[in-house]
Structure 1
Amino acid sequence: MQQIILSDYEQTPALTDVAIPEPNHGEVLVRVKAAALNPLDVKLQLGRVHAYFPLTFPSQMGTDLAGTIEKTGSLTSRWRVGDRVMARLDPTKGGAFADYAIVPEDQLVLLPQDLNFNSAAGLPTAAGTAWQALVEIADLKAGQTVLVHAGTGGVGSVAIQFARGLGARVIASASGDGVEIARELGADQVIDYRSEDFATKVSDIDVVLDTIGGETQQRSFDVLRSGGKLVSTVSPPDQALATAHKVEGTFVFHTSNAGRLSDLVKAMRAMGQSVLIDGVFPITSFAEAFGRQASGRARGKIIISV
Structure 2
Amino acid sequence: MAATAARLMHAVQYEGYGGGAAGLKHVEVPIPTPKKDEILLKLEAASLNPVDWKIQKGMLRPLYPRKFPHIPVTDVAGEVLEVGQGVTNFKAGDKVVALLSHASGGGLAEFAVASESLTVIRPPEVSAPEGAGLPVAGLTAHQALTQVAEVKLDGTGKQTNILITAASGGVGQYAVQLAKLGNTHVTATCGARNIELVKSLGADEVLDYRTPDGAALRSPSGRKYDAVVHCVTGIPWSTFEPNLSEKGKVIDITPGPSALLTFALKKLTFSKKQLVPLLMSAKKGNLDYLVKLVKEGKLKTVIDSKHPLSKAEDAWAKSIDGHATGKVIVEP
Task: Kindly indicate whether the alpha-carbon contact (under 8 Å) linking 1:4 and 1:98 is maintained by their aligned counterparts in 2.
Answer: yes
Deviation at 1:244, TM superposition (A): 6.8
Corresponding residue for residue 186 of structure 1: 202
Question: Is 1:66 paired with 2:77?
Answer: yes
Letter in 2 for 1:113: P
Q: CA RMSD in A?
A: 1.7
Sequence identity percentage: 30
1:104-253 aligned within 5 A: 104-140=115-151, 141-198=157-214, 199=216, 201-202=218-219, 203-235=223-255, 236-237=259-260, 238-239=262-263, 240-241=265-266, 243=269, 245-253=271-279
1:157-195: per-residue Cα shift (whole Å, max 9, x none)?
A: 000001111121110001121112111111111111112
**Whole-angstrom distance in 1 between the partners of 2:241 and 2:62:** 27
* Deviation of the 1:258 alpha carbon: 1.4
Question: 1:239-275 deviations in whole A, cap 9, x for unaligned?
Answer: 2247475213211111332122112223454462201
Residues 200 and 100 (structure 1), Cα distance of their counterparts in 2 relative to 1, 3 Å cut: closer
- Contact between 1:24 and 1:73, CA under 8 Å: does it hold in 2? yes
Which residue in 1 is equivalent to 2:64? 53
Query: Which whole-Å deviations, capped at 9, do the CAs of 1:199-247 have from their partners, x for residues lacking one?
Result: 3623411111111133345522221111111111011451224747521
1:40-86 CA deviation, whole Å, 9 max, x = no partner? 11101111122553441111211000000011112222210000001
Q: Does 1:264 align with 2:290?
A: yes
What SS does the aligned partner of 2:31 have? coil
In the alignment, which residue of structure 1 is the partner of 2:106?
95
With normalisation by structure 2, the TM-score equals 0.87
8 Å CA contact 1:90, 1:256 repeated in 2: no
Equivalent-residue separation in structure 1 for 2:226 and 2:26 (angstroms): 46
Runs of 4+ in 1 over 4 A off after TM superposition: 241-245, 268-271
Match status 1:36 vs 2:47: yes
Corresponding residue for 1:291? 317
Work out whether 1:2 is the aligned partner of 2:10: yes
Residues 249/271 of structure 1: CA separation in 2 closer, same or farther (3 Å cut): farther
TM-score, normalization by structure 1: 0.94
The 8 Å contact of residues 89 and 256 in structure 1, kept in 2 or not, is answered as: no
Q: Which runs of 5+ in 2 are unaligned?
A: 1-8, 152-156
Whether contact under 8 Å (2:166, 2:188) holds in the other structure is yes
Secondary structure of 2:176 counterpart: helix
Number of residue pairs aligned between Structure 1 and Structure 2: 306
Distance in 2, Cα, partners of 1:71 & 1:62: 21
Aligned to 2:92: 81
**Contact 2:227/2:244 (8 A) holds in 1:** yes
**1-side partners of 2:282 and 2:72: how far apart?**
16
**Unmatched 5+ residue regions in structure 1?**
none
Are residues 200 and 132 of structure 1, via their aligned partners in 2, closer, same or farther at CA, if it must alter by over 3 Å?
Answer: closer
